Amino acid sequence: MSKNVLLTGGAGFIGHLVVKEILSNTDWNVTVIDRLSYAGKLDRINDVLKEAGEESYNRVKFFYHDLKAETHEEMVEELSDTNIILHIGASSHVTRSVKNPSIFIQDNIIGTFNLLELARNLENLELFYYFSTDEVFGPSEENIKFSEWDRYNSKNPYSATKAAAEELTIAYANTYSIPSLITHCSNVYGERQNSEKFIPNTIKKILNGEEILIHTDNNNNPGDRYYIYNQDLAKTILFLTKNYPKVQEEAYKVYKKEPTKINITGESLITNLEVAELISKKLDVDFEYKLLQKDPERPGHDIKYGLDNSLLESLNGVFDREFELGINETIEWYLNNKSWL
């Protein structure tokens, strides 16, 4: 039976490939909500629709709306048949959150609250999926990997607002019996990512001969991240959505807690310097870099994160290509689409 999906942030980096995955592998209809900030571009959705074929145009609707505002009456009526809410839209850049935390509080907390208010009045809602981040747990030292219900330790306003929105989701699940799923995700990379992010920004700087800043710990060791390719993440999101009852059941066996939480992470742990070196090698262009222990524009910068994804593995829900394969595909895409840099 066909489902009606409401997807926030569908014109964003992660959201647009979730639209593509739904169109390619289900008969579901998708309604996208996006305010089209600097991070949201209709070009992404247009590309997805072209790739999916002409028949896909009838399956996608778009609402221009800022979630900081309540959903108006006409929208509520239009969305009344929604079965699934995928809440991916958010403000997500740590440096921006340090400079202006108020925007992140409005976007990520108030925005989630308004969406939950809509959700609790949908009679046919089967799932409210909140997409969160590994950053809520704070830095992970050595080989430590955090489990789904470990204590949070936010180090910047961005991660704090994501953690707060998670707690709102849990409260609404417990109070109003909204079927809910929360996922934490490691760093995501791939095509059509905003050029403020590390990988496209590094591609751009190497091509332009600009110096690259590499954040380090107090011993000058470069920071590192676990990476997952955006297309693999989209597959994981759809897998969890389609199999939510089974996912909920298995997660409850492990934690005896509700709602359901799942960690999503790539297995590739790469330092920022190694990423720059791989990009330089692929481009066949040398680069200059500067090691930076403490960035005045980014206090509270975490050197490493780590997630335990054994629960997702037990569900056979891991989709993850090798980083070198994914980064080469990403670089090729940007070389063919330099306007995105």
Count of CB atoms situated within 10 Å of the CB of 210: 13
35-40: list long-range contacts, CB under 8 Å, 24+ apart: 35/64, 35/65, 35/66, 35/67, 35/89, 36/11, 36/64, 38/194, 39/12, 39/13, 39/91, 39/92, 39/194, 40/9, 40/11, 40/12, 40/89
Q: Which of 72, 182, 190, 166 is nearest to 127 (CA)?
A: 182
Hunting for tokens 């009526």 — which residue is that?
Answer: 77
Q: Which of 192, 240, 232 is nearest to 10 (CA)?
A: 192
Count of CB atoms situated within 10 Å of the CB of 35: 19
**Strand 268-271 versus strand 224-229 pairing type:** antiparallel
In the residue annotation, 134 being an active-site residue is answered as: yes
**Of these residues, 134, 166, 191, 224, which one is catalytic?**
134
Q: What is the CA radius of gyration of the chain?
A: 19
**Of these residues, 130, 158, 189, 334, which one is catalytic?**
158
**Of these residues, 21, 34, 107, 135, which one is catalytic?**
135
Residues designated as active site: 134-135, 158
